């Protein structure tokens, strides 16, 4: 099987850089030495291992993409740019027939989805690229649908720890509150306990020091009214490896979509990537 050519946009940003290093060291992929970047980036290029990647500002992207097309024919874009660029980038990919994985959060998500649906290229759009977390959320959605009030009367505690810089509450934790509510648990998103103090993270949560600057730990604890039954679910992620792997799985999924007979569906999520048959 030939390598999949990948265009990673958003360099020199941290997540894009992590993705680029992962692509370079993964024999299934080949990194295109170009990256679409923002208007304020000063560096002309960014070094990924031994590969110098040319950074292209918005004004020059059309020309750059035609050259890439001539040289690489088929390729897939990974977007880890900036919330302010999400919608414009997506329209650009659709217009230039570039299948893409949108890992960037924010922007106008409804516009994003309708732009992709109206186009003729497949895209995976996912605010959370961690396959296993998405799978666990699907398990919770299944339980909420099938067994409403299974945990009626139970009390819930949700604690989440992230790097000190993260100001808002975990979006994953907030989504989980909805499932727990449908399972009969009385709980408001405001009751989620945010842990942001590195000392607490290190001494009480035992989060390794190297990940204090980048982690997402979540604990959900359900306790029966009389205290005799406790159910607890945890997902503790250090660093970005799980998101890198999920993003690359999404790229391979798009690659398959391109070679398979094209259905009418353009807009995919990580749920589609999880399903081996690509059902939704």
The reply on whether position 248 binds a second copy by CB under 8 A is no
Q: Which is nearer to a second copy, 200 or 230 (CB)?
A: 230
Burial status of residue 255 (CB atoms within 10 A of its CB: 0-12, 13-18, 19 or more): buried
Kindly tell me which of 116 and 222 has the beta carbon lying closer to a second copy.
Answer: 222
Which of these is catalytic: 131, 162, 215, 218?
A: 162
Q: Are 45 and 52 in contact (CB under 8 A)?
A: yes
Site map 29..68 versus a second copy, x via CB under 8 A: ----------------------------------------
Query: Among residue numbers 187 through 206, which ones bind a second copy (CB under 8 A)?
Result: none
Q: Given the rule CB under 8 A, which of 22-30, 74-82, 190-198, 218-226 is the region that contacts a second copy?
A: 218-226
Which CB atom, from 28 or from 69, has the smaller least distance to a second copy?
28
Sign of the alpha-carbon torsion through 211, 213, 214, 220: positive
Cβ neighbors of 48 (< 8 A, separation 6 or more) are: 11, 17, 20, 21, 24, 31
Residue number, 100 or 253, with CB nearest to a second copy: 253
116-152 per-residue burial string, b: 16 or more CB within 10 A, e: under 16: beebebbbbbbbbbbbebbebbeebbebbeeeeeebe
- 3-state DSSP call for residue 7? strand
Q: Could you confirm whether 97 is annotated as catalytic?
A: no
Confirm or reject binding of residue 233 to a second copy (CB under 8 A): yes
CA distances, 241 to each of 211, 245, 247 (Å): 12, 6, 10
Query: Pick the catalytic residue: 57, 82, 166, 174?
Result: 166
Size of the site for a second copy (CB under 8 A): 38
Nearest approach, Cβ of 30 to a second copy (angstroms)?
23
Of 87, 105, 181, 236, the residue at the interface with a second copy (CB under 8 A) is 236
State in angstroms the smallest separation of the CB of 274 from a second copy. 5
Decide if 144 contacts 179 (C-beta within 8 A): yes
Q: Please give the Cα distance from 20 to 17 (Å, whole number).
A: 5
Q: Which two structure tokens, joined as six digits, stand for 131?
A: 């396959």
Give the C-alpha separation, 184 to 154, whole Å. Answer: 8
- Tell me the HSE value of 180 on the side-chain side, using a 13 A CA sphere: 26
Residue 230 or 258 with smaller CB distance to a second copy: 230
Taking CB under 8 A as the criterion, which residues in 117-156 touch a second copy?
Answer: 130-132, 135-136, 138-140, 142-143, 146-151
276 lies in the site for a second copy, by CB under 8 A: yes
User: Which of the ranges 9-17, 24-32, 169-177, 270-278 carries the binding residues for a second copy, by CB under 8 A?
Assistant: 270-278
| Residue 182 interacts with a second copy (CB under 8 A): yes or no | no
Q: Is 166 a catalytic residue?
A: yes
131-146 and 171-182 helices, crossing angle to 10°: 20
Give the three-state DSSP class for 265.
Answer: coil
Where do contacts with a second copy occur on this chain (CB under 8 A)? 130-132, 135-136, 138-140, 142-143, 146-151, 211, 222, 224, 226-239, 241-242, 274-276
Residues taking part in catalysis: 162, 166
């Amino acid at each position: 099987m030939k390598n999949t050519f990948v265009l990673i946009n958003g360099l020199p940003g941290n997540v894009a850089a992590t993705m680029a290093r992962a692509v370079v060291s993964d024999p299934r992929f080949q990194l295109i030495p170009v990256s679409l970047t923002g208007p304020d980036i000063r560096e002309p290029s960014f070094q990924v291992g031994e590969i110098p990647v040319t950074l292209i500002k918005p004004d020059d992207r059309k020309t750059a993409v035609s050259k890439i097309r001539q040289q690489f024919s088929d390729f897939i874009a990974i977007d880890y740019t900036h919330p302010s660029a999400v919608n414009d980038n997506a329209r650009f990919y659709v217009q230039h027939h570039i299948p893409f994985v949108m890992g960037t959060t924010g922007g106008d998500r409804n516009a994003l989805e309708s732009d992709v649906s109206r186009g003729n290229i497949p895209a995976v759009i996912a605010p959370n690229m961690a396959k296993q977390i998405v799978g666990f959320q699907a398990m919770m959605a299944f339980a909420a649908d099938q067994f409403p009030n299974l945990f009626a009367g139970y009390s819930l505690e949700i604690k989440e720890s992230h790097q000190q810089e993260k100001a808002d509450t975990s979006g994953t934790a907030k989504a989980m509150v909805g499932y727990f509510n449908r399972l009969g648990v009385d709980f408001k998103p405001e009751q989620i306990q945010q842990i942001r103090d590195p000392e607490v993270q290190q001494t009480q949560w035992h989060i390794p020091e190297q990940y204090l600057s980048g982690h997402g730990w979540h604990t959900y604890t359900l306790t029966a009214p009389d205290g005799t039954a406790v159910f607890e679910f945890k997902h503790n992620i250090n660093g970005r490896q799980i998101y890198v792997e999920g993003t690359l799985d999404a790229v391979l999924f798009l690659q398959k979509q391109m070679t398979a007979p094209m259905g009418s569906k353009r807009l995919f999520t990580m749920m589609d990537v999880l399903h081996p048959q690509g059902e939704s």
